[in-house]
Amino acid sequence: AALTELAEKSDLLTYEFENVDQDVLARVQKRTGVLVPQGVKLLTVTSNRINEKNFLRTHGLPTTDFAKVASPAELKVAVKELGFPAILKTVSGGYDGHGQWDINSEQDVKNMLEKWPKNLLAILEKMVDFVKEISVMVSRDNCDQVKLWPITENQHKNH
């Protein structure tokens, strides 16, 4: 309802992160006719960590090793394949450490299995030892003018 109200008062809607409900956005766009220049299809890639990693790999970009995990049994298999350390993440909706669990040992696996969240669809990612994480933002306007925004360093503590 709030998104519909915003759309009815706006000439266009944009989004800046992946945690936007693409189905709701598509319905509001169709219902109100509001312009969504980024489209909605982009969210099918960016809002799902498995889709995102597969998209990157399809386009020749490297990613850490990963496995889809939809059950406790699949977690056990994924840990055997990827080893330790790893991070279990929700496929969608998580951010900045929310919806993430360190998997560094058999004890971590046991703890996760004991408190397995209902209906969890997750991805297990092999931990990457990195020096820093940066964000690169690129935009393109309706005249195909591309702009590179200043590169920023992301600083995290405990995810």
Q: pLDDT by residue (tens digit) across 139-151?
A: 888 899 999 999 9
Least confident among 9-13, 124-128, 155-159: 155-159
Domain with CATH 3.30.1490.20 in the chain: 64-126
Cis peptide leading into residue 117 (ω within 30°): no
Q: pLDDT by residue (tens digit) across 109-141?
A: 999 999 999 999 999 999 998 889 999 988 888
Q: Which of 31, 30, 35, 28 is nearest to 10 (CA)?
A: 35
- Three-state secondary-structure class, residue 47: coil
Residue type, 9: K
How far is it, in rounded angstroms, from Cα 5 to Cα 131?
Answer: 44
Contacts of 101 (CB under 8 A, 6+ apart): 87, 88, 89, 108, 112
CATH entry 1.10.3210.10 includes domain 64-126: no
- Which residues is 139 bridged to in the sheet? 147
Q: pLDDT by residue (tens digit) across 55-102?
A: 999 999 999 999 999 999 999 999 999 999 999 999 998 877 789 999
